[in-house]
Structure 1
Amino acid sequence: MTETPLLRVEALTTRYGSRTGCEDVSFALWPGEVLAIVGESGSGKTTLLNSVSRRIEPTSGTVTYTMRDGTPRDLATLTEAERRHLGRTDWGFVHQNPADGLRMSVSAGGNVGERLMAVGRRHYGDIRQVAADWLERVEIPADRIDDAPRTFSGGMRQRLQIARNLVTHPRLVFLDEPTGGLDVSVQARVLDVMRRLVADMGLSAILVTHDLAVARLLADRMMVMKDGHVVEEGLTERVLEDPQHPYTQLLVSSILAV
């Protein structure tokens, strides 16, 4: 690991009126690392993800991101244009519902190509070829390139959303329950594609999931949240094999029991 984290979160708190979404959360994410944020519904994990990715503005605390030139920037100081540029280039965001991350009436190739055009690619033939290559990488048949995502299965839509996000080679990807709405057999294929691409590309990722099996498969490190607070964190295997906090022990015994 390098000496400088890709992302540093310090004392992050987000409140909705009198209700706390997440409180006093701090962590660092290193280049090439996958961090899972786990917990039951209402634990604050999605609020934390949205606060870090600036989809919602936190109440207090700082999020510092190391830009490609090595300069750490407090995300609160970025202009709206700079944030949009980050979202198109250095960051990806994979939604639980693929319809939230795709343009359903645009072809599969067009969904991938739009992201390339957003970073300045203009040659139609090149864009189409890159899109075709990426469809293959996420196991979508090349002859579906001109089909709209609304004609795809749920698993294919999710794999297309992954291709759309990764085609610009981002350094950080936010994964919000990426297999949450899929059948178990479909989940396995999506997870296999995701794990392979994350490893091949050396991506950093923050994964939100309630499924500890998904966290075990994808994440190097894990944070467990309850009632807006982080109650335990550590290497994924350590947390799952030797949970210390009673809440983590309950999660592990109930979800990983077979």
Structure 2
Amino acid sequence: MTDLPLLSVRSITRRYGRHVGCEDVSFDLYPGEILAVVGESGSGKTTLLNCISCRMQPTAGTVSYRMRDGETRDLAALTEAERRFLMRTDWGFVHQNPADGLRMRVSAGANIGERMMAVGERHYGRIRASAEDWLSRVEIPGARIDDRPTAFSGGMRQRLQIARNLVTGPRLVFMDEPTGGLDVSVQARLLDLLRSLVAEMGLSAVVVTHDLAVARLLSHRMMVMRRGRVVEHGLTDRVLDDPQDAYTQLLVASILEV
């Protein structure tokens, strides 16, 4: 990790009228670092993720990102075209429901190829070869390249969504409950795949999850949210093994009792 953060979040707040989605959240994310944001349903973690990934306008606060040229830019100051390009190329977003991150009416290969075309690739042979390579990397048989995602299982759809996001070599990936809705055996396989790809590519990631086991397996640091605010923040193993906040202690204890 370098001394300069890739993503800097300062005092991000999002309100819905009188209701607080998230409030006064600040952190830095460094290259190659994985941050897990955990908390129960309604804690504000998904609102925060949407604010820092340009999917939602914060009520207050700033989010800055260090571009590939080394310049740090305030995301609010980017043009809409610049933001869209960033989201299609340098960033990835893995949705809990794969259908939200895939084009269900086109083939698996076309889903991956579409991202490649966003960065200027136009050679059909190279696009198809890369799509086949990425399908194999996410453990989908190459023979399924022309099948639509509607013919895939939930686990295969999620792996296809991961391939679609990673084919452009992004530096930052946002993940919203990436194993949610999958059965336990499929979750374990997907987590192993995610962990190996993240390490291999040196990715930075912000992972939203209610599952502390997912946070322990994937993340270096953890941020615990309750009612829109961060109540604890530190190295993942420290937070899980020696929680300081009463709410974090309750979360950890509830897992241990299962």
TM-score by length of 1: 0.99
Secondary structure of residue in 2 paired with 1:157: helix
Maintained 8 Å contact 1:212/1:256: no
Maintained 8 Å contact 1:91/1:171: yes
Amino acid at match of 1:32: G
Maintained 8 Å contact 1:41/1:210: yes
Map 1:82-161 onto structure 2 (within 5 A).
Answer: 82-161=82-161
Amino acid at match of 2:188: A
Secondary structure of residue in 2 paired with 1:206: strand
Task: Give CA-to-partner distance per residue, 1:192-245, whole Å, 9 cap, x none.
Answer: 111110000000000000000000000000000000000001000000000000
Following the alignment from structure 1 to structure 2, what is the Cα–Cα distance between the partners of residues 18 and 110? 44
Aligned counterpart, 2:52? 52
Amino acid at match of 1:179: T
Task: Give CA-to-partner distance per residue, 1:156-212, whole Å, 9 cap, x none.
Answer: 000000000000000000000000110011101111111110000000000000000
Map 1:1-258 onto structure 2 (within 5 A).
Answer: 1-258=1-258
Following the alignment from structure 1 to structure 2, what is the Cα–Cα distance between the partners of residues 215 and 78? 31
Following the alignment from structure 2 to structure 1, what is the Cα–Cα distance between the partners of residues 68 and 256? 39
Maintained 8 Å contact 1:213/1:256: no
Following the alignment from structure 2 to structure 1, what is the Cα–Cα distance between the partners of residues 59 and 120? 35
Following the alignment from structure 1 to structure 2, what is the Cα–Cα distance between the partners of residues 28 and 46? 18
Amino acid at match of 2:170: P
Following the alignment from structure 1 to structure 2, what is the Cα–Cα distance between the partners of residues 39 and 3? 29
Following the alignment from structure 1 to structure 2, what is the Cα–Cα distance between the partners of residues 59 and 102? 29
TM-score by length of 2: 0.99
Runs of at least 5 residues in structure 1 that lack an aligned partner in the other structure? none
1:256 CA drift (Å): 3.5
Following the alignment from structure 1 to structure 2, what is the Cα–Cα distance between the partners of residues 106 and 190? 23
Following the alignment from structure 1 to structure 2, what is the Cα–Cα distance between the partners of residues 178 and 17? 29
Secondary structure of residue in 1 paired with 2:257: coil
Following the alignment from structure 1 to structure 2, what is the Cα–Cα distance between the partners of residues 56 and 255? 31
Secondary structure of residue in 1 paired with 2:61: strand
Runs of at least 5 residues in structure 2 that lack an aligned partner in the other structure? none
Following the alignment from structure 2 to structure 1, what is the Cα–Cα distance between the partners of residues 105 and 76? 34
Amino acid at match of 1:22: C
Following the alignment from structure 1 to structure 2, what is the Cα–Cα distance between the partners of residues 168 and 14? 31
Secondary structure of residue in 2 paired with 1:93: strand
Secondary structure of residue in 1 paired with 2:32: coil
Task: Give CA-to-partner distance per residue, 1:100-159, whole Å, 9 cap, x none.
Answer: 000011100110000001110000010000000000000000100000000000000000
Identical positions, percent: 76
